[in-house]
Amino acid sequence: MKERIKQLNCHYIICGAGNTGMVVAHEMKKKNLEFVIVDSNPKVVEELYKQEILVLEGDATLDEVLLEAGLQKASALVSALPHDADNVFVALTAKGINSTLFVVSTATITESVSKLKRAGADYVVSPNIIGGVRMASVIIRPSVVDFLDATMAGIDRALQMEEFQIRENSYLSGKALKDSDLRRRSGAIIVSVKRAEKSTINPEPTYVFEAGDILIVLGDHDQISKIGELATNSAK
């Protein structure tokens, strides 16, 4: 198991195999992403091992454990430990070793969100806040919630939502939306374009795509694939 972990590159590290951590692992597994789980509970580790899931037994707040999980070569880390103080420590440790690492952390109380961001977490998810907002949304706009659930979870195979980053010299780089003929070429819908920290919802026809832009698109499997090719390949 440890030899397999050593061979990982540009992978994901999940700290904590609780409910949240395992949901993250399940989603990554569906996308065939490489990841390793770090957990200190021997029984949990043994069960994951039986499922042939890459897992490392140890305290995720320790430098040596994160290094053994391949922290220096990882693309991102998810800290889903049960205590906010431990998540703060993981964020500090991870960013201290790998400053370019993208760190996502959970926060059980609202007051911990700012602390986690100061510690280096790039994104903080508070299950309590998200749960409350979702419950209200189910009551206020149930059809919208059903639609988003179906597209995000891939339940509705006829409709999916995906993101692509426009590459340098790709077909879309430097083209205005109106000149790209995207609708005819792919059939997908451009929901939003993110550039740096700014998102443009439903971009105007005059919007000019640039390398590095992140497209949020909606469509079926074939439409999503076609627009992915246009965003990443130079073919005309």
Mean pLDDT is lowest, of 4-18, 35-49, 148-162, 196-210, for 148-162
Which pLDDT belongs to residue 153? 65
Percent of the chain at pLDDT > 70 equals: 97
User: Which amino acid makes up residue 70?
Assistant: G
DSSP 15: E
> 87-136 pLDDT, tens per residue?
999 999 999 999 999 999 999 998 999 999 999 999 999 988 888 999 99
Which pLDDT belongs to residue 164? 95
Tell the residue number behind the tokens 């993101």, with chain if given: 163
- Joined together, the tokens standing for residue 109 give 């109380």
CA distances from 159 to 134, 145, 162, 200, 236 (A): 21, 15, 10, 22, 26
Q: Assign domain 2-130 one CATH number from 3.40.50.720, 3.30.930.10, 3.55.40.20, 3.40.50.620.
A: 3.40.50.720
Classify the phi-psi angles of 120: left when phi > 0, otherwise alpha if psi is within -120 to 50, otherwise beta.
left
Distance CA 131, CA 53 (A): 28
Q: What is the mean pLDDT of the segment spanning 14-39? A: 95
Residue range 160-232, CATH number = 3.30.70.1450
Tell the residue number behind the tokens 């200190």, with chain if given: 40
CB 210 within 8 Å of CB 173: yes
User: Which amino acid makes up residue 28?
Assistant: M
CB 219 within 8 Å of CB 229: no
Which pLDDT belongs to residue 3? 84
CB 15 within 8 Å of CB 21: yes
Which pLDDT belongs to residue 22? 96
Which pLDDT belongs to residue 154? 59
- Joined together, the tokens standing for residue 125 give 């998810």
User: Which amino acid makes up residue 37?
Assistant: I
Helix (H, G, I), strand (E, B) or coil at 200: strand
> For residue 82, is pLDDT > 70?
yes
* The model's pTM: 0.78
Q: What is the mean pLDDT of the segment spanning 200-216? A: 95
Handedness of CA 89, 19, 12, 166 (dihedral sign): negative
CATH 3.30.70.1450 in the chain: give the residue spans. 160-232
User: Which amino acid makes up residue 69?
Assistant: A
Distance CA 164, CA 130 (A): 25
Beta strands 123-125 and 160-165: pairing type?
Answer: unpaired
∠ CA(214), CA(227), CA(192), 5° rounding? 35
CATH 3.40.50.720 in the chain: give the residue spans. 2-130
